[in-house]
Structure 1
Amino acid sequence: MTVQELPGAAAYRPTPPPAWKPITDPAPLLPDPEPYRVLGTDAVADVDPELLLRLHAELVRGRRYNAQATALTKQGRLAVYPSSTGQEACEIAAALVLEEHDWLFPSYRDTLAAVARGLDPVEALTLLRGDRHTGYDPREHRIAPLCTPLATQLPHAVGLAHAARLKGDDVVALAMVGDGGTSEGDFHEALNFAAVWKAPVVFFVQNNGFAISVPLAKQTAAPSLAHKAVGYGMPGRLVDGNDAAAVHQVLSEAVGRARRGEGPTLVEAVTYRMEAHTNADDATRYRVDSEVEAWKAHDPVRLLERELTERGLLDDAGIEQAKEAAERMAAALRDRMNADPELAPMDLFTHVYAEQTSQLREQAAALRAELDAEQDHDEHGPEAGR
């Protein structure tokens, strides 16, 4: 006997309400079928030339920053570095669209975005160096700690943005995440809460093709990650992540929408991670060189330079000037990172609890005794204390 043959089965068949309509029309929430582009299109004529030149200078500096930080890992000055080479347009645009009082919530790969927002390049690498804590004061810079656990920064961004809205503060939070992070539960929870609360937050997904070694096709069957937005009742935007002008425009519109009280937006930037996941990864195990070479033809620095030179806004001297400025930054970063940090071991206990527990006090006392004994040994020799 089938369910349909059971007595009274018809009474259990759900029927829609007589005048049922979607709570929200999904059509305006859907992204364009193709990533939005500006460079190489008529839309570029509407972009401020000064903005294009600034984007170029920052892209060149960002590319050099990535190269220098990668070299520092090989020299043992950094424990690990997740390079964003190839994704610089996303990183720079995310930093430049925010006002000073807004908040940036980066992932572990978004060091460059933090630097472009004004963070000291050395402080941005402190965590990756293996030093204590974050390396910088999040409140001072309005940059949350570089988040290593996948997607846990997203609910934090929603909470801060919602709190700011309740207080009447003009604050927008921009939360950055990779395509792998969209497979985490925190992604769902953050987008759902943000849409229900109309929180002033922008979710910025850098789809660089792989979650370490897992390609996007093995993570989701959605037409695009931007399509996921409609399920939460927010707009989804799809943009060419290597087109710096397009990313800046789309993010600017999303930030403006959030600031006007119109709620969150999910932006997916289609880009590519040119280098390995980190210096501890061997990308040749899961992708072929021809794929990497194909993406090099769509390099964000090259795309913008070509546009600027064709429009007569940039010449060889200007390109060289940007490279020289980047080299000065890299040299200063290298010199400062090659100096051993002066660490205070007792700081380990300073920011754990507002009031130290008995266990922490015991541990602090033990460490203090060891440090005093070591100092006594250095000053008076091995016979000290006998």
Structure 2
Amino acid sequence: MDPLPSSEPRPLNAPEPGPPTSEQLRELYSLMAAVRHLDTSAVVWQRQGIIPGYAPELGQEAAQVGSGYAVDISRDFVFPTYREMGVARAMGVDMVAYMSTHKATWHGGLYDPLKSRLAPIQAVVAGSVLHAVGWAHGQTLSANGNSDLGAALTYFGDGASSQGDIHEAMNFAAVMNAPVVFFVQNNGWAISVPTERQVAGGSVAARAAGYGMPALRIDGNDVVAVFQSTRRALAHCRSGNGPVLIEAMTYRRGPHSTSDDPGRYRSLDAERADAGADPLDRFRQRLLADGIADEQFFKNAAAAARAEEEQIRTGIQALGPRPGAEMFDLVFQETTPALRAQAASWREESEHV
């Protein structure tokens, strides 16, 4: 009888990347500052009625900026959820076009996914991972022996890791050796349920062994660690070595969404105790200690973040409503009798035609 295969994950087959340059470190901080200011402003916009809803990412800036900054937009493709504003910003996506989804003017954002290399915003929990694996598998099918592939980077949370779609995506990716990085932001909460009550074993990264793929469990509040780990994981995938799982340990400091009240399931004291050091302040102190940035740099970064937010807010407010009849377009490649009847009924009631 043949011996059972080992359950040990494969090692990560990519060298440690060189350290980021001083210029890259300053750019990472500037991106984090811009994301922090835009994120907190977006919550205010929702309270003011400028946008109807938003999913904050306060405390997760390092995980998002560090991973998004590692993407090579000439060949990689990113598949986000509804909370990856920081990833989009780090990739250089037009933020007015990105925020149009939160303005509810268009599904998935007004930006061009092919040009930006960011797939449309995905609100279905764990839905983005399936799309990512499909795209990554397409890379292997079209490679024709070329080992230099583009890699997919897909995001999900610790709560989404309990969905069956995650198992199907990881299993398919491992079997097909697809170049995809599964990036889970473990922010401690699946909406109102703490991680320990819905992730068996306490670690999403530990599950990688069952799929025979490498896994990295990293400090998600250390932007440099996130950047370096994501760079290495993407290099592993691009070289034809199959998928990688990254679990970035972070903390969601605010509500799950602007319709959520975290005070119903955790106290403010517990939130302060569990959140740890603020990732932005932590990185600031590191740059100061290493002599890479001075106080004037931080003042300039804050001013640039405020100016950027004002420009984005102005652009968001200028977005007019989309034609209501558009809801019936782009549903199917070929429309159906039922959809035509619904469209006709809607026009009769709403447009009186």
When normalised by structure 1's length, the TM-score is 0.83
Contact 1:170–1:259, Cα closer than 8 Å, also in 2: yes
Pairing partner for 1:119 from 89, 93, 99: 93
What SS does the aligned partner of 2:41 have?
A: helix
Which shifted more, 123-132 or 321-330?
123-132
1:92 pairs with one of 57, 65, 69? 65
Cα 1:297–1:44, aligned 2, differ >3 Å: closer, same or farther?
farther
- Name the amino acid aligned to 1:141: S
Which of 234, 246, 250 is matched with 2:225 structurally? 246
In terms of Rg, which structure is larger? 1
| Residue from 272, 276, 287 that aligns with 1:308 | 287
Give the equivalent residue in structure 2 for 1:180.
Answer: 159
Determine the structure 2 residue equivalent to 1:26: 8
Give secondary structure in 2 for the equivalent of 1:146. coil
Following superposition, the deviation at residue 342 of structure 1 comes to 4.0
2: CA distance, partners of 1:297 / 1:354:
49
SS at 2:171 equivalent? helix
Q: CA deviation at 1:308?
A: 0.5
Instruction: Name the counterpart of 2:40.
Output: 67
Partner of 1:161: 136
Number of aligned residues: 344
Structure 1 residue 140 and structure 2 residue 122: aligned? no
Match of 2:323 among 344, 351, 367: 344
Q: Render the CA deviation track for 1:154-195: whole Å, top value 9, x for unaligned.
A: 111111100121011832100000000100000111111111
Task: Give me the whole-angstrom Cα distance separating, in 1, the residues matched to 2:279 and 2:198.
Answer: 26
Deviation of 1:44 (Å) = 12
Between 1:108-117 and 1:270-279, the stretch displaced more is 108-117
1:307 Cα deviation after fit = 0.7
For residue 293 of structure 1, give the secondary structure of its aligned residue in structure 2.
Answer: helix
Paired position in structure 2 for 1:274? 253
Structure 1 residues 371 and 147: CA distance shift in structure 2, 3 A: closer
**For residues 34-49 of structure 1, what are the structure 2 equivalents within 5 Å?**
46-49=19-22
Residue 266 of structure 1 aligns to which amino acid in structure 2?
A: L
Indicate yes or no: 2:205 matched with 1:226: yes
- Where does structure 2 lack aligned partners over 5 or more consecutive residues? none
Distance 2:212 2:135 in 1: 20
Q: 1:44 to 1:262 in 2, by over 3 A?
A: closer
Structure 1 residues 222 and 340 mapped into 2: Cα distance closer, same or farther (>3 Å)? same
Asked if the contact 2:9/2:212 (under 8 Å) is kept, the reply is: no
**Shift of residue 96, structure 1, vs aligned partner:** 1.2
Which aligned runs of 4 or more in structure 1 are off by greater than 6 angstroms?
none
Code of the residue aligned with 1:152 in structure 2: it is: G
* Residues 362/247 of structure 1: CA separation in 2 closer, same or farther (3 Å cut): same
Q: Which amino acid aligns with 2:139?
A: A
| Deviation of the 1:341 alpha carbon | 1.2
Relative to structure 1, the CA distance from residue 140 to residue 363 in structure 2 (aligned partners, 3 Å threshold; closer, same or farther) is farther
Q: Which residue of 1 aligns with 2:83?
A: 109
CA contact (8 A) 2:149 2:179 kept: no
Deviations 1:272-292 (A, max 9, x none): 001011111111122222232
Q: Does 1:151 align with 2:126?
A: yes
Shift of 1:347: 2.6
**Counterparts in 2 of 1:370 and 1:200: CA distance versus 1, 3 Å:** same
CA contact (8 A) 1:179 1:205 kept: yes
1:297 and 1:188 map into 2 onto residues whose CA distance is 31
Tell me the distance in 2 between the aligned counterparts of 1:271 and 1:372: 49
Determine helix, strand or coil for the equivalent of 2:159: helix
Q: Does the C-alpha gap of structure 1 residues 285 and 362 become closer, same or farther in structure 2, counting only changes over 3 Å?
A: closer
Render the CA deviation track for 1:299-353: whole Å, top value 9, x for unaligned. 1111111111011111110000100110011111222223351422333333122
Given that residues 176 and 206 in structure 1 are in contact (C-alpha distance below 8 angstroms), is that contact kept between their aligned partners in structure 2?
A: yes
Structure 2 Cα separation of the partners of residues 154 and 224 of structure 1? 18
Which of 56, 72, 76 does residue 49 from structure 2 map onto? 76
TM-score where L is the length of structure 2: 0.90
Deviates more, 1:70-79 or 1:163-172: 163-172
Taking structure 1 as reference, are residues 309 and 295 closer, same or farther at Cα in structure 2, changes over 3 Å only?
Answer: farther
Equivalent position of 1:35 in the other structure: none
> Deviation per CA, 1:228-285, whole angstroms, max 9, x where unpaired?
1001110111100000000011111100000000010110000000101111111112
Amino acid at match of 1:122: V
Unaligned runs of 5+ in 1: 1-16, 31-42, 375-386
The letter of the residue matching 1:229 is: A
Between 362-371 and 287-296, report the one with greater CA deviation.
Answer: 362-371
Greater shift, 209-218 or 44-53, is seen at 44-53
Larger displacement relative to structure 2 (147-156 or 81-90): 147-156
RMSD of aligned residue pairs (Cα, Å)? 2.3
